[in-house]
């Protein structure tokens, strides 16, 4: 009795262990339910080491366990489920290097308890075959397109058409995963889930199924599924950009850029938690980036796109044949052929039965020689087949058919050679342009020594420009002070005229200098910028130009308005000439900059 109680207690501890560790990650602070659900399920996937098991290895495990012969609604007990999981993990350790071995017993215990808690909440001790297949095929590693193809093979009929009842059953099972991580209110199963995925379609084939479930955005109830796979792809992606909120100098994972605030970018931690500062708001539209491209890579991508090397508007998945596929419970589909539209060389390889290189072989620059060897091997094979067919079928085929086959093989070999040469030339051109761009973007001592005469002239013009700016600032300050002096002079003149009019019995309004315009500050030309107004008329004339001095030189008042207008015209002309000279210096400096840049480009072109 004591041993049974201890075993039961240990089982309860193991059952809760995964959820306790998940709560310790504090995923609930993530603001958006989609990211919150994807992060939780990704944690479960990695903690149970399911991300190390590829979907095709999982399918092979189903076949080895005999699950492909059982009905979807058949039930298996927990002990048999444990045996199946043991087989999966022990086979995984055989494939892994000795330095990366996993703890098989711990992985089995965590995954078994999670599956029982998810699909046997009532404690019957049994799970259906379809529940186990749906869960393991969804949570294992691999590409989402391969997983969806396998799921479609399980829910389609013999004609390759999806059965809505089986898809409804799949949604029931797969949506128990968000519920198991406490996200059921956001992504729980409802009776309308099927129609929300396929609102109008009546006949769903494989490509339509993939189009809808891999669309952007996908159906609302499954929006967490592609996000979980994107999380796996960007966990180690580095972005050398500073976060606008936490000021971290680098980002790992996703990067989010605001579409309204220029240059505002957030790391995934700040965006998930809803952080914002400055003019940015959480209501602004953000664009998610899963990679970082340096300026050199952007240039090479633009060049490749312009040369037609990069297809525009690639589909989210390859186009597969519309005929029905057998349920993928074997490893016959492990190596998938490339679609016809992707690569012409792959099409030829598939038509001849030659092994098709994987995507990593074709896209890796270090494996281009291997691709060329495959093409050469295929060309030799075509030549050999053409020779054998000529000898073996000379008595069976008419001469016209033989010549036609030979010409077709010859054209294929020529086409392969042309494509190979063009591919090599394009790669060399891209490499050359990339090196040229990197060299041009780095400052060198030779660039600084080009055109010393132009550089000297440019420095002189900039020095002249600075002097004119300082002179203009001094003139503006002098103008302000002279306006203050002029205002004082106007007041003194007005008081003097009023005194004289009172003494002579005349009217103060008879003075020709009196009027509304006399109280306005008028700029005048001055040879001194340091004069200040005082309380006496003679002191007020200190440092004032000749026009004003002439107006007050005699004891008899003159028509001061005309004299002030002349002085205003003089200072205005002086300021205008100064501004024109300053603008001419700016234009000359800009022209010299352009000439120097054009000269540098011309020298580099001549050097090349």
pLDDT bucket at 313, cuts 50 / 70 / 90: low
The residue among 384 and 444 whose pLDDT is bigger is 384
> pLDDT at position 604, please?
57
Do residues 130 and 154 make contact, with C-beta atoms less than 8 angstroms apart?
A: yes
Residue 44, both tokens: 């479960």
The residue among 54 and 383 whose pLDDT is bigger is 54
- Considering only CA atoms, which of 111, 114, 77 is closest in space to residue 92? 111
The residue among 381 and 121 whose pLDDT is bigger is 121
> pLDDT at position 1, please?
45
Do residues 18 and 47 make contact, with C-beta atoms less than 8 angstroms apart?
A: yes
Residue 40 predicted with pLDDT over 90? yes
**DSSP code for 319:** P
Do residues 501 and 508 make contact, with C-beta atoms less than 8 angstroms apart?
A: yes
Average pLDDT over residues 584-601: 64
> pLDDT at position 39, please?
95
Residue 319 predicted with pLDDT over 90? no
The residue among 369 and 83 whose pLDDT is bigger is 83
Global pTM exceeds 0.85: no
Residue 525 predicted with pLDDT over 60? no
The average confidence (pLDDT) of the chain is 74
Residue 346 predicted with pLDDT over 80? no
pLDDT bucket at 430, cuts 50 / 70 / 90: confident
The residue among 93 and 453 whose pLDDT is bigger is 93
> pLDDT at position 376, please?
67
Stretch among 46-60, 306-320, 324-338 having the lowest mean pLDDT:
324-338
Average pLDDT over residues 589-605: 61
pLDDT bucket at 427, cuts 50 / 70 / 90: confident
> pLDDT at position 363, please?
41
Do residues 236 and 223 make contact, with C-beta atoms less than 8 angstroms apart?
A: no
d(CA 135, CA 147): 11
pLDDT bucket at 450, cuts 50 / 70 / 90: low
The residue among 342 and 583 whose pLDDT is bigger is 583
Question: Percentage of the chain with pLDDT > 90?
Answer: 30
- Considering only CA atoms, which of 66, 146, 206, 93 is closest in space to residue 335? 146
**Coil/strand/helix, residue 201:** coil
Do residues 582 and 468 make contact, with C-beta atoms less than 8 angstroms apart?
A: yes
Chain segment 143-158, per-residue pLDDT in tens: 999 999 999 999 999 8
Average pLDDT over residues 87-97: 94
> pLDDT at position 112, please?
94
Chain segment 199-241, per-residue pLDDT in tens: 876 789 999 999 999 988 899 999 999 999 999 998 888 888 8
Residue 33 predicted with pLDDT over 70? yes
> pLDDT at position 341, please?
39
| CB neighbour burial string for 233-243, b if at least 16 within 10 angstroms, e if fewer | ebeeeebebeb
> pLDDT at position 45, please?
95
Do residues 195 and 9 make contact, with C-beta atoms less than 8 angstroms apart?
A: no
> pLDDT at position 507, please?
47
> pLDDT at position 105, please?
94
Q: End-to-end distance of the chain based on CA atoms, in angstroms?
A: 89
pLDDT bucket at 536, cuts 50 / 70 / 90: very low
Residue 533 predicted with pLDDT over 50? no
Report the side by side order of strands in the sheet with 265-267: 265-267, 255-258, 286-289
> pLDDT at position 54, please?
94
d(CA 224, CA 253): 17
d(CA 182, CA 64): 34
Task: Tell me the range of 249-258, 310-319, 390-399, 483-492 where mean pLDDT is highest.
Answer: 249-258
Helical H runs in 241-358? 268-272, 295-306, 344-352
> pLDDT at position 496, please?
80
Residue 98, both tokens: 């000795």
Chain segment 160-201, per-residue pLDDT in tens: 999 999 999 999 999 999 999 999 888 888 888 888 888 876
Chain segment 95-143, per-residue pLDDT in tens: 999 999 999 999 999 999 999 999 988 888 999 999 999 999 999 999 9
> pLDDT at position 535, please?
41
Residue 23 predicted with pLDDT over 60? yes
> pLDDT at position 421, please?
82
> pLDDT at position 515, please?
40
């Amino acid at each position: 009795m004591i041993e049974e109680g201890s075993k039961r207690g240990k089982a309860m501890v193991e059952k809760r262990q995964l959820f306790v560790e998940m709560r310790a990650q504090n995923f609930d602070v993530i603001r958006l339910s989609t990211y919150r659900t994807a992060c939780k399920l990704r944690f479960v996937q990695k903690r149970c080491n399911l991300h190390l098991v590829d979907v095709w290895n999982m399918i092979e495990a189903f076949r080895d366990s005999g699950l492909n012969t059982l009905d979807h609604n058949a039930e298996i007990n927990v002990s048999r489920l444990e045996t199946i999981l043991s087989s999966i993990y022990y086979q995984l350790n055989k494939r892994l290097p000795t330095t990366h071995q996993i703890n098989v017993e711990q992985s089995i215990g965590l995954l078994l308890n999670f599956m029982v808690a998810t699909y046997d909440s009532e404690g019957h001790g049994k799970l259906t075959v379809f529940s186990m297949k749906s869960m393991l095929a969804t949570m294992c590693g691999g590409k989402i397109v391969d997983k969806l193809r396998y799921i479609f093979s399980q829910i389609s009929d013999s004609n390759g058409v999806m059965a809505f009842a089986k898809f409804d059953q799949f949604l029931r099972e797969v949506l128990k995963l968000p519920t198991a991580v406490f996200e059921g209110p956001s992504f729980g199963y409802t009776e309308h889930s099927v129609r929300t995925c396929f609102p109008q379609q009546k006949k769903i084939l494989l490509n339509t199924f993939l189009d809808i479930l891999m669309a952007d955005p996908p159906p609302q109830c499954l929006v967490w599924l592609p996000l979980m796979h994107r999380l796996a792809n960007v966990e180690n992606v580095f972005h050398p950009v500073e976060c606008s909120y936490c000021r971290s100098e680098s980002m790992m994972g996703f990067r989010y850029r605001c579409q309204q605030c220029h240059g505002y970018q957030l790391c995934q931690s700040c965006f998930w938690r809803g952080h914002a500062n400055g003019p940015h708001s959480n209501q602004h539209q953000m664009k998610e980036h899963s990679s970082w491209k340096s300026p050199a890579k952007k240039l090479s991508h633009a060049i490749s796109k312009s040369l037609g090397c990069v297809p525009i508007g690639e589909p989210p998945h390859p186009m597969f044949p519309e005929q029905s596929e057998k349920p993928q419970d074997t490893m016959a589909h492990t190596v998938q052929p490339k679609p016809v539209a992707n690569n012409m060389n792959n099409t030829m390889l598939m038509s001849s039965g030659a092994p098709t290189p994987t995507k990593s072989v074709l896209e890796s620059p270090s494996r281009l020689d291997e691709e060329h060897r495959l093409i050469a091997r295929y060309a030799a094979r075509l030549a050999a087949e053409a020779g054998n067919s000529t000898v073996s079928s000379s008595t069976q085929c008419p001469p016209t058919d033989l010549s036609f086959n030979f010409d077709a093989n010859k054209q294929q070999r020529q086409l392969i050679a042309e494509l190979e040469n063009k591919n090599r030339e394009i790669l060399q051109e891209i490499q050359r342009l990339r090196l040229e761009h990197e060299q041009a973007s780095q400052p060198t001592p030779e660039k600084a020594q080009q055109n010393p005469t132009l550089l000297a002239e440019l420095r002189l013009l900039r020095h002249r420009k600075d002097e004119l700016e300082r002179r203009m600032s001094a003139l503006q300050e002098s103008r302000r002070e002279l306006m203050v002096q002029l205002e004082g002079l106007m007041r003194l003149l007005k008081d003097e005229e009023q005194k004289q009019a009172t003494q002579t019995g005349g009217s103060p309004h008879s003075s020709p200098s009196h009027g509304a315009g006399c109280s306005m500050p008028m700029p005048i030309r001055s040879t001194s910028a340091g004069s200040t107004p005082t309380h006496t008329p003679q002191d007020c004339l200190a440092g004032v130009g000749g026009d004003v001095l002439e107006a007050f030189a005699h004891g008899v008042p003159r028509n001061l308005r005309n004299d002030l207008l002349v002085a205003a015209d003089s200072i205005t002309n002086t300021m205008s000439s100064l501004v024109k000279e300053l603008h001419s210096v700016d234009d000359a400096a800009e022209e010299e900059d352009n000439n120097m840049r054009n000269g540098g480009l011309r020298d580099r072109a001549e050097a090349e």
